[in-house]
Amino acid sequence: MDWERTDSHWTNHDFSRFTYDTGELVVPASATIVSRLGSNGHEFHVETLSSPGAWKLWFDRTDLSKDSGLCVIIYNKAQDSFGGDGFESLMSLPVTRNTFAETVQRFQIQPCITRTIMREKGLSLSIVFGCKEEAKQQLITKLKRVDRAHYHPMIMAGIFFELERARLEECVDQLTDDFALNSSEIRPLDLNMGSTEMVGYLQKCYRSRELGSEINSLKRQLKKVIDETAMFDETYGAVVEKDKSSEAYEAKEGHDYQHVKFAGRRIRSRVEEMCDILDDKIDSCNVTIDNMSLTMQTLWNHFAQEDNKLNTSFNRTNTRLSNTNKEISQSMQDDSTQMKFIALLTMVFLPISTMTSIFSTELFSWDAGPGEAVISKYLWVFIVISLALTTVVVGAWGIATRYAFLRRKKADEDSKDYGKFG
């Protein structure tokens, strides 16, 4: 199981988890030290170290074991040979392994924490990993304003929460401004927007949800800060209460205790204010989400209405086509009735016409005298020629019909093959 680590000794495995500066960077890696130590009269001091020699000089002239106040090491995010961010991981350090090992020893850093508080001396030591230039400047500015409460154990946590609060507040304000700009009269909502615009609205909605989740997470941490600050003030006050009668208390501890107590009240008050500010930003995120949801619902309703209009138009067109087909069918039915009547007349008069044509020829002599034949002896020629012509006509019709059938069948097969492979 992953038991909680209780030992403070650093092993080779602990050091191997970090990546160290090897001196191969085009822009030298550096770290910034911000201090307000009692040995310097609690004056605010900032210096930048970029070489092992500079670190050795700083270690030689600084004795933290006998000092009080605040000391923060800010590890800058170095650049690689291509000018980009080379130390993307927080486990990458802009110092050598020996320098980091010396820092761990001087700061009494345990493997599981990055901050040490020596309450008996009023000393707070911190290390900040992977800090960009903008964040570093903001951190230095806020450390410069902490005044005499600089060694309160919750001051660094409060500063980081202030930076995170400012970042989230800026993100929420930017998102709210973007939505307000899209919803203004200058850029009215386009119900005929394309997929790109719709994706943009959805991304804003998802971003609002993410920001709301991040703000709620920060609020939970702020509530822990309030509890921890109250617990520290109560514990520290109990310790000081035992030494009220001593000269040390009158000379130093009582004065420092008042500063720490006052700082604790200010930290709790500011954290409560940040919680209220974050509540307002959560409301802004919810308003944006609700407005986005309303916008998307309006769009979907608009699309549904357009689909209904198209379906109605298609139905009307189908109705007209159906009526037209019905009229055509009725007309064809009338034509079929007339053709049947014509065929019936043809069946009635065709035998009479045939017999009239045959009897009107010279093959029959109705005025023949005695001893003369009424029927010509060439009647067989007429019968043979008639049968031959009938056979030729019927055969030609059959061949033409068969050829047309085969062409239609081949065309249907080609169409099926094209639909299957094309």
Residue 296 has pLDDT above 80, yes or no: no
Residue 399 has pLDDT above 90, yes or no: yes
Q: Which residues pair with 69 in a beta bridge?
A: 37, 123
When pLDDT is cut at 50, 70 and 90, the band that residue 44 belongs to is confident
- pLDDT attached to residue 146: 75
- What are the extents of the domains in the chain? 11-148, 152-307
Q: How far apart are CA 258 and CA 122, in angstroms?
A: 13
Whose structure tokens read 């000269």?
A: 247
What does the pLDDT look like over 299-320, one tens digit per residue? Answer: 778 778 888 888 898 899 999 9
- pLDDT attached to residue 131: 83
Contact between 257 and 236 (Cβ < 8 Å): yes
* Range in 20-29, 284-293, 314-323 the model is least confident about: 20-29
Which backbone phi and psi does 37 adopt, to 5 degrees? -100, 155
Neighbours of 73 (CB within 10 A): 23
- Which one is predicted more confidently, 110 or 27? 110
Q: How far apart are CA 210 and CA 171, in angstroms?
A: 11
Neighbours of 69 (CB within 10 A): 22
Distance (Å) of CA 367 to CA 364, 372, 375, 377, 378: 9, 9, 11, 16, 18
- pLDDT attached to residue 23: 64
Q: In the chain, what are the helix, strand and coil shares in percent, each to the nearest 5?
A: 65, 10, 25
Q: Is 1 helix (H, G, I), strand (E, B) or coil?
A: coil
Please state the length of the chain.
Answer: 422
Q: How far apart are CA 359 and CA 349, in angstroms?
A: 15
Q: Which residues pair with 19 in a beta bridge?
A: 92
What does the pLDDT look like over 320-350, one tens digit per residue? Answer: 999 998 889 888 888 888 888 888 888 888 8
H/E stretch holding 217 reads helix 195-242
